[in-house]
Structure 1
Amino acid sequence: MRLAPDLPAERLDRSGYELVVDEHFAGPTLDTARWLPHYLPQWSTPDRSAARYALGPEGLTLRIDHDQPAWSPEYDGELRVSNLQTGGRSGPVGSGSGQHPFREALVVRTAQPERRLWLPHHGLIEVRLRASPHPRALTALWLIGFEHEPEQSGELCLVEIFGRDIHPDGSARVGLGIHPFGDPALRDDFVQVPLAGDALDWHTYSVEWMPGSARFFIDDVLVAEADQSPAYPLQLMLNLYELPDGRPRDPAEYPLEAGVQWVRESRLR
């Protein structure tokens, strides 16, 4: 990954792109033709994988409440998550076939029909969000392969911000890059870059995803570029995690919240 100090000072140029999806979460209800409001539901049960969220004038608020159950205690301990994803599939209950098998010996607990709701394939992907400052929070937008073929499993991450990495003055570091998972054509290439400004304000995170490369921008400023990229359609994973740290969960600290004003996809004209 080449980082900003070694890159030319460059701003994102959208003039060659045509906007094809402009999701502002403006309706009274979530657009379920585009979003599945569950997190990797094949490895859990509907009551545990369901997202908690609200729609309002500023867009989407992802929320984790004190009474929210761990999403998959069988496989992932006390992790809690509110997630919207744009695709899903699995094999039958009892099989090991499902998206994003994040550890060995996973077994499908709730079978998922094949749903290809919004799967970009190259182009410009962007999100405007405000991260949660809670020290156990992780706010992220990442894209993963639909995994109809198991090796089509790479990840392209626009943004991940850990609440524990947000300092009292608002400065923070932003994770971005590529994880191969089961894709032999990719290598792990993931970095953290400094965020200019207050992480608790709204910021725009963008990736120009091209065949064989990817360029990452924060607030329209080029911060990193990679010489590889997934070569197949990817689904979006937009989420707020609560990462367990062994401390009691104090009801006074909830809800944890992260805001998303919009998510966009543009394609080259």
Structure 2
Amino acid sequence: MKTKAILTVLAFSLGLYSCQKKVAEQEVKKEELTLKGKSVATTPPAPAGTTWQLVESDDFNSLDLNRWGHGGTPWGSESHDGSCNLQTASNSFVSGGALVVQAKKGPFTGPSGKSYPYSGDYVWTKTRRTYGYLEIRAQYPDARGVWPAFWMLGDGWPPEIDIAEFRGTPKNYMTHAYYDGSWSSTTTSGNFTGWHTYGLLWQPGSLKFYIDDVLKATVTKSSVPSVPMYVILSNGADCGDANGTGFPNDYKVDYFRWYQSVPSGGLANGTYTISNRNSNKCLTLLNGSQNDGTNIVQYNCDGNNNSKWVVSQVSSGVYTIVNKNNSKYAEVAGWSTTPGGNVDIWPNSGGNNQRWNIISVGSGYYKIKNVHSGMVMDISGASTANNAADVQWGDSGGNNQQWKFTSAP
């Protein structure tokens, strides 16, 4: 989904896989599973020493507004960069077990009073993630000037990743592209009006684009995003080519899947509540304070953003744990190596006292080990009381040192 005209297009020759890799990938793709009665994405092989974990999925039996935004754009405007399309919520809905995003011919009047010749909509994930394999099964419309897309943005622009962006007749091609200040783009011609799968394998320094499990394009650049990004499913008119024929039209998405690779027994990136096995209470901030150095404590799980934590893998098996409400990092205070040292929040320093190993102990629980001190998170004295302190302690294997991570919006 281009927010600017394409200034630079770099063609990427597509190397053939070695026979060994082809066989390995085919073996993986033979393992078809089911989820809620629908096919699960057939992923490429996970990186060595890791396994895929499904971290987000939707079969679109309804449009879950706790997980998806729609109506307008994710950045709050009524139209994509002032284009000919009004983005409006009435154009996105679920019908027949699929998400439908419509494009229509107008004119239409937006909340600002501006008139638009066409309307469409954006549907976007409210959760941002980093890396993994993403896939949709979709049916793209083909009409003059139609512009449906499966793409990604971060909190700023660039970067942008266009996983499967279709330009209808007369262009009639699918684009796989990455923008970091200049465009890297490959196009695929064909008929996309039937049901097909479209996937992206996003790894450090690498983007691989798939249609129906066949590799179509590869981008290898040091600038490939390492920041959390969100997914957009959109439809509308390509303003320069649309002539009013072929509207309305429907972009249909049967399912959405996002997998992330984790070390065996590891945890996927995401936003979680973190509850103690002994007390069943959640980690939060003492008295709700947002100040630097505020102690982390346990409290009844209430869904407040103070008790939500953004967990991100920064290297193999090493994570940061960041408070959703204030973007401050869980750390061992003062670089302590002493049992009983407080765990508090502090702005990002990049130090190992803000880095954690999250290690499975089985039954869905983990221990959280500080990289600097080698000690684990512990609720002091195995207390079950509200506001009991989160501290570090030697690994005893007790339930007060074991934690459950529950996905949170």
Please give the TM-score of this superposition, normalised by the length of structure 2.
0.47
Name the residue aligned to 1:230.
225
Is this contact kept in 2: 1:177–1:189, CA < 8 A?
A: yes
Distance change >3 Å, CA 230–CA 65, structure 1 → 2:
same
Q: Which has the larger radius of gyration?
A: 2
Is this contact kept in 2: 1:153–1:180, CA < 8 A?
A: yes
Name the residue aligned to 2:92.
53
Matches of 2:175 and 2:57 in 1, distance apart? 24
Name the residue aligned to 1:3.
13
Distance change >3 Å, CA 76–CA 17, structure 1 → 2:
farther
Name the residue aligned to 1:192.
187
Report the residue type matching 2:164 in the other structure.
Answer: V
Within the alignment, does 1:35 sit opposite 2:68 as a pair?
yes
Name the residue aligned to 1:178.
178
- C-alpha displacement of 1:245: 4.5
Name the residue aligned to 1:201.
194
Q: Which one of the candidate residues 135, 140, 146 is aligned to 1:126?
A: 135
- C-alpha displacement of 1:188: 2.0
Return 5+ residue gaps in structure 1 as ranges.
87-116, 167-171, 182-186
Name the residue aligned to 2:151.
142
> What is the alpha-carbon root mean square deviation over aligned residues?
3.0
Matches of 1:143 and 1:188 in 2, distance apart? 14
Report the residue type matching 1:13 in the other structure.
Answer: P
Report the residue type matching 2:102 in the other structure.
Answer: R
Distance change >3 Å, CA 249–CA 223, structure 1 → 2:
closer
Matches of 2:200 and 2:211 in 1, distance apart? 9
Name the residue aligned to 2:203.
210
Q: How many residues align?
A: 217
Task: Give the match's secondary structure for 2:185.
Answer: strand
Is this contact kept in 2: 1:43–1:72, CA < 8 A?
A: no
- C-alpha displacement of 1:244: 3.0
Distance change >3 Å, CA 70–CA 266, structure 1 → 2:
farther
Distance change >3 Å, CA 189–CA 138, structure 1 → 2:
same
Q: Which has the higher contact order (CA 8 A, sep 6+)?
A: 1
Within the alignment, does 1:255 sit opposite 2:251 as a pair?
no
Task: Indicate the larger mover: 77-86 or 52-61.
Answer: 77-86
Q: Deviations over 1:152-182 (max 9, x none)?
A: 630111101111157xxxxx5310120125x
Return 5+ residue gaps in structure 2 as ranges.
1-10, 26-42, 80-85, 263-409
Task: Indicate the larger mover: 60-69 or 213-222.
Answer: 60-69
Report the residue type matching 2:44 in the other structure.
Answer: D
Task: Give the match's secondary structure for 1:2.
Answer: coil
Is this contact kept in 2: 1:70–1:79, CA < 8 A?
A: no
- C-alpha displacement of 1:23: 1.1
- C-alpha displacement of 1:131: 0.8
Is this contact kept in 2: 1:206–1:220, CA < 8 A?
A: yes
Name the residue aligned to 2:169.
164
Report the residue type matching 1:258 in the other structure.
Answer: Y
- C-alpha displacement of 1:210: 0.6
Matches of 1:221 and 1:194 in 2, distance apart? 14
Distance change >3 Å, CA 159–CA 248, structure 1 → 2:
closer
Q: Deviations over 1:48-105 (max 9, x none)?
A: 432312312341111123346276999996453221122xxxxxxxxxxxxxxxxxxx
Please give the TM-score of this superposition, normalised by the length of structure 1.
0.70
Matches of 2:118 and 2:106 in 1, distance apart? 13
Name the residue aligned to 2:54.
19
Is this contact kept in 2: 1:38–1:85, CA < 8 A?
A: no
Is this contact kept in 1: 2:101–2:120, CA < 8 A?
A: no
Matches within 5 A, 1:76-91: 78=117, 80-86=119-125
Report the residue type matching 1:233 in the other structure.
Answer: P
Matches of 2:99 and 2:210 in 1, distance apart? 22
Is this contact kept in 2: 1:143–1:236, CA < 8 A?
A: yes
Report the residue type matching 1:203 in the other structure.
Answer: H
Q: Deviations over 1:12-43 (max 9, x none)?
A: 5256311111111112xx21111111232633
Matches of 1:75 and 1:190 in 2, distance apart? 33
- C-alpha displacement of 1:215: 1.1
Matches of 1:205 and 1:246 in 2, distance apart? 24
Report sequence identity in percent: 19
Matches of 1:262 and 1:163 in 2, distance apart? 22
Matches of 2:145 and 2:252 in 1, distance apart? 16
Distance change >3 Å, CA 247–CA 8, structure 1 → 2:
closer
Matches of 1:179 and 1:255 in 2, distance apart? 30
Matches of 1:246 and 1:192 in 2, distance apart? 18
